[in-house]
Structure formats: C-alpha cells, structure tokens
Amino acid sequence: MSNRGTVLTPGHKLLFDVSNQMSVRRDFAKVQFHQAFQRNIFPPIRRVQGRVAVLVTAAGGNYFHWLTEALPRLRLLEIAEGGIDRIDSFVVNQGASFIGESLDLLGVPLSRRIDTDWNTHLKADELLVPSLPGVTLNPPRWACSFLQERMLPHGAPSGKGPRIYIRRGQTNRRFVRNEEEILAVLEDFGFVSVDPGEFDLKEQIAIFRDAEVIVGSHGAALANLLWCGSGTKVLELLPLHRPGKWFWPYCYWALSASCDLDYHCLQSLETDGDHDKELYADQSFSSTEIRQWLEHHV
C-alpha cells in the first residue's frame, strides 16, 4: 500500500473502491488514470509485522478529508474487530498536527502509528482495509455521530462566543477581498473574528461547540461544523458557481445536513478573472446581502 491509501492485492490487483484519488473519485471509467498505474518504479517494499490497519487516505493531509474520510474508518474497525486493541499498527497520513491530536483523542497512540510519505510502499503480514465511510465530500450521519460522541467531550472549557466569523488564516488562496467591509457589518451583530489555525484541536472543538451562528468562506476550517449543536446557523461564502467549469463544493452543505445544522450559502460577486481557476481565487461578497441575511436569521 502507498502514502495515499492505495491498496494492491498480492496478485497486484488494485482495490479501487478503497484506493481513493481526488481526480478519479472512484469512477471506474477513469481507473487507468489512478496513480497506481502512473508510476514506472515503486519504492522498495517495507515489510511490517503483525496486524496493520489502513487509515491513510487521499487528501488526508487536509483537515476536512482527514476528519470525514480517514477517522470514521476507526469505527468500522471497531465493529469488525470488536475494538482496536488487537490491531498492532495503524497506517496514517503525516504532516499536520491535527492528525496526531485527533488520534490521541481516539486512543491510537504514537507508538502504534506508521506515518507515510511519497516513498511509502508497505507490505503487512495481515492488512486490515476498512471501507471508506461514504462518497467523497458527503460525510454520512453515522460518521459524524461517531466523531461527535468520541471527540466533543475533549473540547476545551470555553469557546469564543455565540457568533463567529471564520477567517481564512494561513493560506494562499480563496481570501475574501472585501473582508474589512464584511467585518464591519458582522460587528454590528456581535460577531468575533476567529482563525481556527491559531488554535489546537481541543480549542477548535470548543469554539464551534459554543457557537450559535457561523459565517465563513469555503475552506477546510469549516470541517469544524462537526462540533456544532443541532440548529446552529451557518452562512458559507462560496465562489460563484459556473456549471461545466468546476464541481460545486457542496461538502459543507452535506456536512450540515448530517449534523442537523441550519445551512445557508452566498455566492461571490462576478469577477473578470480566469473562470477555470475561480474555485481557488480570491473573492468578494455583497456586504448588503450579508446584512440582509443577518437581519432575517439572527
């Protein structure tokens, strides 16, 4: 198996349904484009003794994908194995602090983790490969419930208040160009500005757990909607949708539905830039429409 969770059988057959890749999205018509068939030379095999479980998945270094696609596989392993005590090692994504923090909370200590990188090529005595929890970007209710039950009790004592605006923080794309204008409107309604990247996982859990109204631009930080209580109001600021140009990023609508949140979205204003790259470009939003939404919903 590889650093993206690609799994091959002893007969060198690809287990396509559990070997996710974002550009292929489990579309069997595109299987020939899977990374497993694009490498002429694989790294040397590293043999791992014992019973080894696969948690690593494509894009697992992203907060949303790690929470909603990798961690729920622990629940499937618990059901299949009657717990995880008889599993010797867990293969995980590496590189982000939230990976280790979340595994600590879920009872997978550092001593039982195998980090992966581009040169990872593992062969285990016994490889346990749980299914992926559902369709990519569409986390099922059971997966959300599992994470809430196990991780919410670990939240820090207090959050940032009932009304929060989520800044984009340390990223190089999808900034809100007229953010100061929008913040002036939000402050009239008692909002505080938060960059989740400045907080550890327990603090992020607390911030979203205690929130009642959340406004934020599309990005992985909104995966923290997992920790919100039922009925929490959400306004996601989304890039202008252009059918046929790129997929509609519906993941936080789907996450909100699985968590019983009151979800709404607002599309960005028209731009003159490259529409093919608009999903990742900086955006502007109507502060008037945001004020109207707040007056109606808050």
C-beta separation of 14 from 36 below 8 A? yes
pTM of the shown model: 0.90
Task: Share the mean pLDDT of the chain.
Answer: 89
State the pLDDT confidence band at 146, using cuts at 50, 70 and 90.
very high
- Residues 29, 35, 41, 42, CA torsion sign: negative
Q: Which of 14-18, 119-123, 207-211, 245-249 has the lowest mean pLDDT?
A: 245-249
Contact 147, 226 (CB under 8 A): yes
**Rounded mean pLDDT, 243-267:** 88
Where do the domains of the chain lie, and which CATH numbers do they carry? 16-136 (no CATH), 155-297 (3.40.50.360)
Q: Highest mean pLDDT: which of 54-58, 171-175, 238-242?
A: 54-58
